[in-house]
Amino acid sequence: MKWDAQWYARIAAGGYHWPVPQPGHTDPWLSDLAFFPGFPALTRAVALTGLDVTWATLLTAWIGSACAAGVIALVGREVGGARTGVLLVLLWGAAPRSLVQILGYSEGWFIALVGLGLLMGLRRQWIRAGLAICVAGVFRPAVVPMGVLLGLAWVAAWPVFRRGVDSSERRRRFLGAALTPWGFLAHAGVVAMRTGRWDGYLLVQTAWGSSLGWSNELFHQVREYWPIAPYNWTYFGLVAASVILYAVLLVAMIATRESPLLWGQVALVLLLTVFSVGYFQSKARFLLPAFPAFLPVARLLEKVPRWLCVATMVVITGLSTWWSVYVLGGPYSP
């Protein structure tokens, strides 16, 4: 195991280590408190079966990825039928950086919960949607897009914008939106208590190279490296290709009149990823929760002969796997 997986295993085995800094460093703010507790807690539960913590970390990640695949299939089925659901899962599995699902990362569980929130939203079960996103916030901090989305769903139900929505429906939408941030805020509160600083979480994230705010990092990278030939596209190319891919698919979603809940989620995840500060090489991974982006491709593959559908998936999966494996051989975390 490497990178984040090692930290999750360390937390699962011995809890958080504040104020002990990262091995090899002296800054106490470079702490494992940066990692959210949901995944290590599940790993610890799996380890109670007697498994070594390394294998428990990997098994927990694999279970999460399986759950994510199941939820994504349900979302696809909800909007297009069983075959759409299967194709949506396969396309998500072939997305750039999707190979991290086997590395002991928390993405699987986070995406499963985000997908569950979307599924509940499509079914207009707003409180359950909010609860799913609340729990997702215990796994990763990137719950802002869904929080904004459910908030917009509540605003859209106001009488001034839409008539015919009764007060109970508006109340459910409000409660769903109000529930979304509490998983994230709970961990931020724990970090504040452990560090004795109300802004402890922000200080920890800053020490790790992440911070709140907007950045033009992606565009600076494009401007700096695009004229250079040949350029090592191992990281820059993967991020650039991923952003372009999701942007094109977002336009296709809007053009084909997919649910605003789905294309809105893709748009917000894309914006958050492109303009976020830090970890440039991981931006392709941060786009994985935007799995609804692949719906237009899934619908297109439904219409072609089966042999062509299979051949297309084999080519896409092969290229994505080759690129991901090649990148994983580098020195930077995915």
Instruction: Give the pLDDT of residue 231.
Output: 47
Average pLDDT over residues 46-71: 94
Average pLDDT over residues 266-282: 84
Residue 99 has pLDDT above 90, yes or no: no
Using a pLDDT cut of 90, give the percent of the chain over it: 56
Instruction: Give the pLDDT of residue 229.
Output: 46
Strands (E), the chain: none
Average pLDDT over residues 23-35: 81
What are the structure tokens assigned to 272, written together? 């958050």
- Which DSSP symbol is given to 277? B
Instruction: Give the pLDDT of residue 21.
Output: 65
Place of tokens 């907007």: 214
Residue 230 has pLDDT above 50, yes or no: no
Among positive and negative, which fits the CA dihedral 324, 326, 328, 330?
A: negative
Q: How many CB atoms lie within 10 A of CB 278?
A: 15
The larger pLDDT score, comparing residue 220 to residue 105, is at 105
22-26, 130-134, 264-268: least confidently modelled range: 22-26
In angstroms, how far is CA 222 from the centroid of its own chain?
24
The larger pLDDT score, comparing residue 184 to residue 327, is at 184
Q: Say if residues 288 and 111 touch (Cβ distance below 8 Å).
A: yes
CA angle 284, 118, 43 (to 5 degrees): 65
CA angle 258, 298, 267 (to 5 degrees): 45
Domain ranges of the chain: 4-328
Q: How confident is the model at residue 108 (pLDDT cuts 50, 70, 90)?
A: very high
State the chain's mean pLDDT as an integer. Answer: 87
The larger pLDDT score, comparing residue 193 to residue 155, is at 193
3 state SS of 215:
coil
Instruction: Give the pLDDT of residue 221.
Output: 62
3 state SS of 211:
strand
- Which DSSP symbol is given to 280? G
Tell me which residue of 119, 257, 111, 233 sits closest to 176, measured CA to CA.
119
Place of tokens 């015919």: 164
Instruction: Give the pLDDT of residue 275.
Output: 80
3 state SS of 51:
coil
Q: How confident is the model at residue 224 (pLDDT cuts 50, 70, 90)?
A: low
Bond from prior residue into 296 cis (ω within 30 degrees of 0): no
The model carries a pTM of 0.91
64-68, 223-227, 283-287: least confidently modelled range: 223-227
Q: Which helix (H) or strand (E) holds 276?
A: none
